[in-house]
Each structure stands twice: as structure tokens, then as C-alpha cells.
Amino acid sequence: MMVQDIHTATWLSTVPQHWKTLRIKNLFAEIDERSETGEEELLSVSHYTGVTKKRDSLENEDDFISNAKTLVGYKKVAENDLVSNIMLAWNGSLGISKYDGITSPAYCVYRIKGDNNPHYYGYLFSTAIMKAEFRKKSFGIIDSRLRLYSDKFFSIPVAVPPKDEQDQIVNYIKAKSKKIKHFIQKKQAFIELLKEQRQAIISRAVTKGINPDVTLKDSSIEWLGKIPEHWELRKLRYCGQCQNGLNKGGEFFGKGFPFFGYGDIYNNEILPEIPSGLVESTEEDQANCSVEKGDVFFTRTSEIVDEIAIASTCHKTIPYATFSGFLIRFRPTANLLYEGYSTYYFRNELLREYFVKEMNIITRASMSQDLLKNLPIVLPPIEEQVMIYNYIKTETAKIDQAIAKAEKEIELIKEYREAMIAEAVLGKLDVKVHTKKVLENG
């Protein structure tokens, strides 16, 4: 395939010789039409999902929109318009809308000019090479304050294939993406089945033990059911002490001593030895909010109830460390709970029924110490707790390996999709031939 050097676009080395080079201002026009009623479909944009209906979004980088008293004056968006979050465009928060609707006045809305396919540019703008160009053209001191204004966005040169090739590229990417999406969905469903299998092993072991012949007794707790006759049942308040975490202003963070945040707990069954944060904590802070072997940390507040009371257990004391005020630390009485057993018991999905039923929700879900202290705990003898931990660890090892392998395959196919899109929109593939092969292979 013949190629030509593009001297006006340093980010792009070569493209097919017959492609043109134009600045974005020649391809898109900025649109600033405002809603008079605020009743149109509210849209948001994310670098994960592109342009989506706000009510369907699972993750929104612009939560302030939903809190507005009125949507009158919001910018109108038509199907096939390009919507850009100027504060996060450098990170890929822009995309072509599949819907008519409205979006934040802080966003920019652009409409394609002439005989061009907007979806080609939607794919082009999602590539790493274009995001790097957006970053170079953005203004600001730090990432969270970088802004890509329209004049700078319009100044960026891009390669422009003939319209029929734009259409072929879009069709090729859509066909390949459909197959990739199907692959990912199958892998995700497989992962969910493995997680259910893993959770069933854990739930049975921490509530029934590992001896199939043990005599059971009624716990009088519906979600817990019967438990081994020789096990003790207590409320958490009689098993140790609870402590809320550290609250400090933003200026104290980013330097100092180890600090465990919400994500460290939410994302890990076992507390990591190296936390994600640092804080300028005092000796008094470190004494009150210490992190010691056997401690169990619970997420205390969130937007949704399903993210409350997610637990992570500390297996090794972390000197000088403290933890966030969004967390509650439970420190068991000495020799009452083995940290391995705690890891699986407090992360057990069966406990969700207790917390969901009892949770107080106002504008955010929030768990009080009193609610946590009323949590029932089943207590096998300490030596049996160790046996249960070792049993679960052995029985779930292969499942964990299978989950990790499937998750890695998903990451690899996503990386492949990104590379495929980049090659297609930069003219490195004969998409007409490749599209035919994709369609012939189903």
C-alpha cells in the first residue's frame, strides 16, 4: 500500500498516499443549542463507555449533573454528534452519541461537516496516539485540571480517508468488535460461574465446617441456618472493639506515613502490605488508628448499599499505618479469631443479607458502628478455624487460577481491540479484504 509522509501532523508518521490531511476544524463544527425544557434524555460521557444515557451509566465522571435543580439550558445533542468532556478529553472522555439528548453545559458538542462518517473519527479519537495529542493541546497544571478547549481541539491535524474507505473502516471495526464483545461476554459469564462456585465453598465451610458428619443446631438466624453444635454464636460487639478511621483535610495527604483508603479494603480480601496512600499522621493518630495483624476493616459509606461492609483482613501488622474515616476497624479479642478464618467469614456473601436488610439509606448508604456490632459471628474453636482456612485455600486455588486466566484473556482481547482499531483508522489494514473474512467466519 502506497504511503505518504504527513508533515503537518507530527503524531502521525505515515498513511495511505491518497488520504488527505485536514485540521479538525475542517471536519467538525461546534454546536451550542440549549434545551428550553430540560426534559430531553440526559447523556454523560466516559472514557470507559463513551456517550451513554445518564440513567444507564454505572460509572459517571460527572455526578454533579444529576444533582442540578433544572436541566434547562443544557446543551442539545443529536445522534452522531461528538460529545467531549473538556476536562477529561485527554484521557479519552469523548465519543459519538448514539442518542438524541442533552448534556452538561461544561461539555463541548461537535457536528460532522460534509461527506464524512462521524464514527470513523469516533474510533480515531479513541486511539492512544490521538489521546496523546489531546493531552499536548490541553491546558492546566495537573491532570485533574487539564482542559481541551475547542480552538486547540480544532487545530489538531488528522488524516482523512475517502468517504467509502471511512465507511469500510467503520464496518470492519464494528464487525470485529461484535465478535470481541461476544468473546468477552462469554468469559465474564464463565468468571461469574467460577465466583459462585468459589463463594459456595466458602459459605459452607465458614457456616457448617468441613466435617460432613458433624451434628448441627439451629442458629435462629434465617440467613445463617444451622451451624455445628459445638460452635459458639455471638454478636460482633462481644468479640472485640470497633474504631472509625482518620479524618483530615486534603492538605495532609500525599506524603508522610502509610495510609489505607477505601479502595485498599474494597479491592482486597487480605489487606495489602503496602497501602495506596500516604498521610501526615501524628503519633496519636497512629495509636488510635493503627493497623495490626488480625484487624478486620469494613467499608462504611458509599453511594450504594452493595458497597457497604465489604471487609478486608490484616495478616501482618503495618508499622505507623492509619486508615480512612470511610472505614471501620474491628479488632478481635486476643485468640478469638484466626485472621485466615476472618478473611473468609467477613467477606462471605451470606453477610450481605444482614447488611442490606438493616442498612440506613438517606442520600448515601452508611453503616454505623452499632449496626456492625450487631452482626452475628459463628465461632469455631481456634484450631478448627485454622483448618477451615487451609481447606478453603486449597479448594479455591484452582478456581482462583481459572478466574485469573480468564481475566487476563479479557485484558488481552481488549488490548488487541485497541491495536486493531489503531491499525484500521491509520490505514495499516486492507479493511475491505479483512471485513470479508470476518463476515465469512461469522
Strand extents, DSSP E, 6-161: 14-16, 20-23, 28-31, 43-46, 50-53, 75-77, 82-84, 94-96, 101-103, 108-112, 157-160
306 pLDDT exceeds 90? no
User: Is residue 325 a part of any domain in this protein?
Assistant: yes
Q: What is the pLDDT of residue 293?
A: 97
Number of domains in the chain: 2
Mean pLDDT of 147-168: 94
Claim to verify: residue 264 and residue 146 sit in the same structural domain: no
Residue 86 belongs to a domain with what CATH number?
Answer: 3.90.220.20
* pLDDT tens sequence across 191-228: 999 999 999 999 999 999 999 999 999 999 988 999 99
Alpha-carbon gap, residue 378 to 389, rounded angstroms: 14
Are residues 28 and 154 in contact, defined by beta-carbon separation less than 8 angstroms?
yes
User: Is residue 315 a part of any domain in this protein?
Assistant: yes
* pLDDT tens sequence across 87-131: 888 888 999 999 999 999 999 999 999 999 999 999 999 999 899
Assigned C-alpha cell, 96: 459519538
Per cent of the chain over pLDDT 90 is 71
User: Is residue 207 a part of any domain in this protein?
Assistant: no
Claim to verify: residue 18 and residue 120 sit in the same structural domain: yes
Claim to verify: residue 340 and residue 255 sit in the same structural domain: yes
Q: What is the pLDDT of residue 351?
A: 87
Q: Give the global pTM.
A: 0.77
* Residue 414 to residues 184, 409, 419, Cα–Cα distance (Å): 9, 9, 9
Claim to verify: residue 150 and residue 237 sit in the same structural domain: no
The half-sphere exposure of 365 on its side-chain side, counting CA atoms within 13 A, is: 18
52 pLDDT exceeds 70? yes
Q: What is the pLDDT of residue 151?
A: 95
Residue finishing a domain among 334, 362, 379: 379
Claim to verify: residue 139 and residue 270 sit in the same structural domain: no
Find residue 312's DSSP bridge partners.
Answer: 297
Q: Are strands 322-323 and 253-260 parallel, antiparallel or unpaired?
A: parallel
pLDDT tier at 436, thresholds 50, 70, 90: low
Claim to verify: residue 128 and residue 259 sit in the same structural domain: no
Residue finishing a domain among 361, 379, 397: 379
Alpha-carbon gap, residue 413 to 347, rounded angstroms: 30
* pLDDT tens sequence across 17-27: 889 889 999 99
Q: What is the pLDDT of residue 125?
A: 94
Q: What is the pLDDT of residue 432?
A: 65
Residue in 399, 404, 405, 414 with CA at minimum distance from that of residue 184: 414
151-165, 257-271, 330-344, 350-364: least confidently modelled range: 350-364
Cell 481491540 appears where? 417
41-45, 115-119, 227-231, 257-261: least confidently modelled range: 41-45
Q: What is the pLDDT of residue 3?
A: 45
Alpha-carbon gap, residue 344 to 392, rounded angstroms: 8
Are residues 275 and 261 in contact, defined by beta-carbon separation less than 8 angstroms?
yes
Sheet holding 360-361, edge to edge: 301-302, 365-366, 360-361
User: Is residue 425 a part of any domain in this protein?
Assistant: no
Q: What is the pLDDT of residue 62?
A: 43
13-17, 114-118, 290-294, 326-330: least confidently modelled range: 13-17
Pairwise pLDDT comparison (143 vs 146), residue with the higher score? 146
192: which residues sit within 8 A by CB, 6+ positions away? none
Pairwise pLDDT comparison (349 vs 285), residue with the higher score? 285
Are residues 175 and 439 in contact, defined by beta-carbon separation less than 8 angstroms?
yes
Claim to verify: residue 123 and residue 254 sit in the same structural domain: no
pLDDT tier at 72, thresholds 50, 70, 90: very high
Q: What is the pLDDT of residue 124?
A: 95
Claim to verify: residue 156 and residue 239 sit in the same structural domain: no
User: Is residue 223 a part of any domain in this protein?
Assistant: no
Length of the chain: 442
User: Is residue 392 a part of any domain in this protein?
Assistant: no
The half-sphere exposure of 297 on its side-chain side, counting CA atoms within 13 A, is: 33
User: Is residue 17 a part of any domain in this protein?
Assistant: yes
Claim to verify: residue 110 and residue 259 sit in the same structural domain: no
Assigned C-alpha cell, 386: 485454622
Residue in 210, 126, 121, 130 with CA at minimum distance from that of residue 167: 121
Are residues 377 and 345 in contact, defined by beta-carbon separation less than 8 angstroms?
yes
Are residues 177 and 28 in contact, defined by beta-carbon separation less than 8 angstroms?
no
Q: What is the pLDDT of residue 7?
A: 45
In the DSSP assignment, the letter for residue 91 is G
Q: By three-state DSSP, how is residue 110 classified?
A: strand
pLDDT tier at 13, thresholds 50, 70, 90: low
Q: For residue 418, which amino acid is it? A: E
As a whole number, the mean pLDDT across the chain is 89
Mean pLDDT of 312-337: 96
Q: What is the pLDDT of residue 442?
A: 54
Domain hosting 331: range is: 232-379
User: Is residue 292 a part of any domain in this protein?
Assistant: yes
Mean pLDDT of 330-355: 93
Are residues 421 and 123 in contact, defined by beta-carbon separation less than 8 angstroms?
yes
Residue finishing a domain among 130, 161, 192: 161
pLDDT tier at 5, thresholds 50, 70, 90: very low
Mean pLDDT of 231-238: 96
Find residue 110's DSSP bridge partners.
Answer: 30, 82
Cell 468441613 appears where? 210
257-261, 281-285, 422-426, 438-442: least confidently modelled range: 438-442
Residue in 207, 195, 247, 373 with CA at minimum distance from that of residue 298: 373
Claim to verify: residue 33 and residue 139 sit in the same structural domain: yes
